[in-house]
Amino acid sequence: MLQNPELHYLDNAATTIVAPEVADVIDKAMREHWANPSSLYAPGARSEEALNAARAAVARTLGCKSKELYFTSCGSEGNNLALLGAAQTRTFGKGIVVSGFEHPSVQRPLERLAAQGYHVTVVAPQPDGTLDMGRMLEAVDKNTILVACMMVNNEIGTRNDVERLAAEVKRRNSRIIVHVDAVQAWMRVPIKLDNIDTLAVSGHKIHAPKGVGALYLSDRLVQAFQPPYLGGEQERGLRPGTENLPYAMGLAAAATRLAGSIRSRDKAMRALNDRLRAGRPVLGVCVGEQIMFERGMEHGDGTPGLGLIKGDVELLDADVVPHMGWDTVEAPEGSVLLKGVENERFYFVHSFAAMSASPADTSADQLDFGDAEEHVTWCTYGRSRFVAAYERGPLFATQFHPEKSAEAGAQLLRNWVATF
């Protein structure tokens, strides 16, 4: 949690604030699980048991076996370990195909492999920054041994259909290794490992500390895998060095904390997007409007919303919060929801609201509102002028409660139903 209430932290793509409950798990582990997990005496055995439990918890969030999950120090190490180790497992060719928007921890290992005689083909993205699936697949030939593509771009946030890419690559040659950098995707979007051989994630993107990550390495590769560095037998001999048990437990706690919410969020998001794609009206009320925005800033944390409306949801600036009671709104010309009730009062109960609104880029979710006009209704409370209602195509939302707003609310609902 931020110690400075005046600071609004918006750089979660770079690093997140460690969740208090995760910090508590790490602190307790440092005091209670101090022994080396490789030691044969009782405290060591307890540490090993805790390490195995942490590994299983992280593996569950990825949908892999525990023995396919290896703890690392970060996503960059995971990418290096996967690429430098996996390339040597294939001898039938020297071809590598990679997208043109990868993190340096993918680019530079591949530059080293190119210097060693591998043929690296870099495929530029499309003008909108998304994966050029067709050109990636065109570059795959009989000499290709490795294809790499990140799931969510770390600079502009574009989401790439790596599951489809992996399936198409395997259809061409099942022996080609597919690596995915999922550092920005893990615990934000669903991950399916079908046809993916190696995948790297990091802890400090999900409210765990810096210095811990994980690598999924399919059992299909383990026997022939050549780790780039050598040492002890930790992590099945693929990543030597005494394990950082407290941080591994912290990573597991952070992932478990988010696992339930991502499953329910994904299910709801799929249903919502399917409805919007079909042009069927959707109405969000109160918190239902707030979650349609990009982020919620409660406690200073930038919690992701559905991203259907560009803007952040912030605490109202007023002498008395929550805003509770009847208030007038400023309806724009052409509003469908507020037609006939532009000058009426509506009932509000809320402490947070969006102070701005504009069309969001929804291309990653294959949502296109076309030329649909945007209508934003405003309300002022205290020193805050906030979004009271939003309309764009089939997407509708209100911060107030129409179901509690007497005849004005009933008319608004009739207006909405008339759009079906």
Q: Which of 373, 295, 370 is nearest to 334 (CA)?
A: 373
Question: 2 pLDDT band (50/70/90 cuts)?
Answer: low
- Contact criterion met (CB below 8 Å) for 25 and 315: no
The C-alpha atoms of residue 191 and residue 63 are separated, in whole angstroms, by 8
- Per-residue pLDDT for 5 more than 90? no
The C-alpha atoms of residue 242 and residue 27 are separated, in whole angstroms, by 18
What DSSP state is assigned to residue 351? S
Q: Which of 133, 132, 136 is nearest to 146 (CA)?
A: 136
Q: What is the dihedral of CA 171, 176, 177, 181, to 10 degrees?
A: -60
Read off the pLDDT of each residue in 55-71 and give the average, rounded to a whole number.
96
- pLDDT at res. 288: 94
- Per-residue pLDDT for 296 more than 80? yes
The C-alpha atoms of residue 140 and residue 157 are separated, in whole angstroms, by 26
List Cβ neighbours of 32 (8 Å cut-off, separation of 6 or more): none
Of 52-61, 95-104, 187-196, 210-219, where does mean pLDDT reach its minimum?
A: 187-196
Where are the chain's structural domains?
20-257, 279-417
What DSSP state is assigned to residue 160? -
Catalytic (active site) residue 403: yes
- pLDDT at res. 142: 95
Label the pairing between strands 213-217 and 69-72.
antiparallel
- pLDDT at res. 404: 95
Question: 102 pLDDT band (50/70/90 cuts)?
Answer: very high
User: What's the full length of the chain, in residues?
Assistant: 420
- Per-residue pLDDT for 129 more than 90? no
Q: Which of 200, 182, 191 is nearest to 84 (CA)?
A: 200
- Contact criterion met (CB below 8 Å) for 36 and 44: yes
3-class SS letters over 305-345: CCCCEEEEEEECCCCCCCEEEEEECECCCCCCCCCCCCCCE
**Amino acid letter, residue 227:** P
Question: 295 pLDDT band (50/70/90 cuts)?
Answer: confident
Read off the pLDDT of each residue in 66-87 and give the average, rounded to a whole number.
95
Read off the pLDDT of each residue in 52-56 and give the average, rounded to a whole number.
96
Q: Token pair for residue 207?
A: 């409210």
Catalytic (active site) residue 286: yes
Average per-residue pLDDT for the chain:
92
Phi, psi torsion values for 325, nearest 5 degrees: 140, -170
- Per-residue pLDDT for 45 more than 90? yes
N- to C-terminal Cα distance for the chain? 43
Question: 259 pLDDT band (50/70/90 cuts)?
Answer: confident
The SS3 assignment for 168 reads: helix
The C-alpha atoms of residue 47 and residue 33 are separated, in whole angstroms, by 5
Neighbours of 55 (CB within 10 A): 23
Q: Which of 209, 204, 256 is nearest to 27 (CA)?
A: 209
pLDDT, one tens digit per residue, over 348-383 is: 999 999 999 999 988 877 888 988 999 999 999 999
pLDDT, one tens digit per residue, over 195-219 is: 999 999 999 999 999 999 999 999 9
- pLDDT at res. 299: 59
Which is it for the CA torsion 283, 289, 291, 295, positive or negative?
positive
The neighbouring-strand residues paired with 215 are 70, 200
- Contact criterion met (CB below 8 Å) for 114 and 86: no
Q: Residues 64, 74, 149, 286: which is the catalytic one?
A: 286
What DSSP state is assigned to residue 124? P
Q: Token pair for residue 134?
A: 């067709």
Of 99-103, 117-121, 188-192, 261-265, where does mean pLDDT reach its minimum?
A: 261-265
List Cβ neighbours of 186 (8 Å cut-off, separation of 6 or more): 61, 62, 201, 202, 205, 206, 255
Label the pairing between strands 358-359 and 352-354.
unpaired
In the chain, % of residues over pLDDT 70:
97
Neighbours of 172 (CB within 10 A): 13
CATH of domain 279-417: 3.40.50.880
Q: Token pair for residue 45?
A: 């055995």
- Contact criterion met (CB below 8 Å) for 172 and 132: no
The SS3 assignment for 203 reads: coil
- Contact criterion met (CB below 8 Å) for 378 and 266: no
The neighbouring-strand residues paired with 146 are 96, 177
The C-alpha atoms of residue 393 and residue 369 are separated, in whole angstroms, by 6
We find that the CATH architecture of domain 20-257 is 3-Layer(aba) Sandwich (3.40)
The C-alpha atoms of residue 242 and residue 331 are separated, in whole angstroms, by 63
Q: Residues 77, 330, 374, 403: which is the catalytic one?
A: 403
Is the bond preceding residue 228 a cis peptide, omega within 30 degrees?
no
The neighbouring-strand residues paired with 381 are 384
Q: Residues 119, 298, 330, 401: which is the catalytic one?
A: 401
The C-alpha atoms of residue 415 and residue 420 are separated, in whole angstroms, by 10
Catalytic (active site) residue 375: no
